[in-house]
Chain A
């Protein structure tokens, strides 16, 4: 089953990491990704730009375009993974692996994927 692992953290804090600290975290995440890729379990991976770059479209008769993220929260959605896991247990283990890459106070949300369209060809 495919799972989305959504990464939440304070973008203020992550933005205050030095280049070296940021690179160190990315390197550790890279090791986990490589392991998943070797097992053929790794799908798309994305790191998102800060929420200041976000635009939200509120649906309605006239869709409303709003600057900023969908919700003002203490921790923001900073990125996500799509990973193939046999069970929730394995998905939790994978998220724990990712969590060990940094000691900040963020969270990972595991969401089983219902429909996954991989027809697109964006590289």
Chain B
């Protein structure tokens, strides 16, 4: 590993803390970003020569702040200021600043930075694009590639999002407990959205969009380090790790969807699974269940099954029932029905999803799952109708191809079971 690679990693990891402290100081996102950029450039100049500072974030905050002030003063009075290399060698200043940054201040700073990206006026796609740009520090080009849009379109989207939050009230006072909890929930939801944006991709797109999953996990870990005793944040991090662990097995070489029960489980990322299981274990001890923990627990049961037939479907059914109570939604019921079909058979499952039809009439997975149940019941003609409907509603080519596979099998008259979303 070269010096440059190490410096790159240090700058990336210090970014949320340094940028959020600069934002608190300047109360303006553009100024804070410029100050941080300036500090990074100076770090690239001085760190290889002087060696890395003990606390890279504190160094960047101090140097960034001084550089920005320097610029302001120059514009105002053309007044000379001390060289940043002198300042950066003042170990004492660095230490006091670092001490001041420890603990609550730093935590609320980073939470604020994340929370700004979750502004309710911003549509979800703008929220996550902004978080990737501001918090993760991805380039516009990288973000554009992950969202499968042109660089100029993404540039525009981010600029628009930024100007919208610039006009909005950004709360700089230290949040109270209730406010902090609300911010935490909004940020967790944004990270979850970011992950799903990558997770819903397929085939060749999936490779491009894998960045989104990686970044979502990085942000979840960051959040968990700030709030290490929050069981829902443990649950969220566990959920993302357990889902992302299956990424290498979710598509075959041609980009086709591979169902959970057909996946080569040796391709699953063991390190991520181990970490996810450890986190869900920790979370459960708190006995304060929430939707992320329950979903993580479901993912954990899949991860723990060495073979598909070892899956504890009865437990998954119970967990979905819990989730239904916490977050009543036809999609949750649809997922539960898949577990029900494994435990009680396709007939019970079909009865469960039939009432959902009016609300899910435009939903690809509904017809995919329904078709699979009908197929299991030997109702080939009804299954064909459901699959045709699913193809018409497919969001990606891979989804359509997957259903077509079902239809082909149907034609070959070799009825086999399967489901769509829950087992992807």
Q: Which residues of A contact B (CB under 8 A)?
A: 10, 12-17, 21, 24-25, 49-53, 55, 65, 67-68, 72, 74, 101-105
Residues of A within 8 A of B274 (CB): 49
Which chain A residue lies CB-closest to B283? A67
Cα(A16)–Cα(B221), bound, Å: 12
Q: Do B1 and A25 have beta carbons less than 8 Å apart? A: yes
Do A103 and B282 contact each other (CB < 8 Å), given the known contacts A16-B13, A21-B9?
no
Contacts A21-B1, A50-B275, A55-B282 given; indicate if A67 touches B13 (C-beta within 8 A): no
**Contact present for B225 and A52 (CB under 8 Å):** yes
> What is the bound-complex CA distance between A12 and B224, given in angstroms?
12
When A and B form their complex, which 4 residue pairs have the shortest distance between CB atoms, in order from nearest? A12-B13, A16-B9, A16-B13, A68-B228
Residue of A nearest to B54 (CB): A74
Residues from chain B with Cβ under 8 Å of A67 in the complex = 228-229, 234, 282
Given A67-B228, A104-B6, A104-B9, A50-B1 contact (CB < 8 Å): no
A-B contact pairs, 16 of them (CB 8 A): A12-B13, A12-B14, A13-B10, A17-B1, A49-B274, A49-B278, A50-B221, A52-B224, A52-B234, A52-B237, A53-B275, A53-B278, A67-B229, A102-B1, A103-B3, A105-B52
Would A103 and B278 be within 8 Å (CB), given that A13-B13, A16-B12, A68-B228 are in contact? no
Tell me if B218 is interfacial: C-beta within 8 Å of chain A: yes
Q: Is B177 close to A, CB under 8 A?
A: no
Using Cβ atoms and an 8 Å threshold, which residues of chain A touch B6?
13, 102-105
| Chain B: interface residue total (CB-CB under 8 A) | 30
B5 interface residue (CB < 8 Å to A): yes
Residues of A near B3 (CB, < 8 A) are 103
B1 with A49: CB separation less than 8 A: no
> Whole-angstrom distance between the alpha carbons of A119 and B179 in the complex?
53
Q: Complex formed: what's the CA distance from A18 to B224 in Å?
A: 21
Q: Closest Cβ of chain A: how far from B280's Cβ, in Å?
A: 10
- B285 interface residue, CB < 8 Å from A? yes
A23 vs chain B, min Cβ distance (A): 11
Nearest Cβ on chain A to B221's Cβ, whole angstroms: 6
| C-alpha spacing A12/B229, complex, angstroms | 19
Chain A hits for B285, CB < 8 A: 65
Complex Cα spacing A103 to B3, Å: 6
Closest to A66 in B: B229
Question: What is the 8 Å Cβ interface bit string for chain B, positions 70-110, against chain A (1 contact, 0 not)?
Answer: 00000000000000000000000000000000100000000
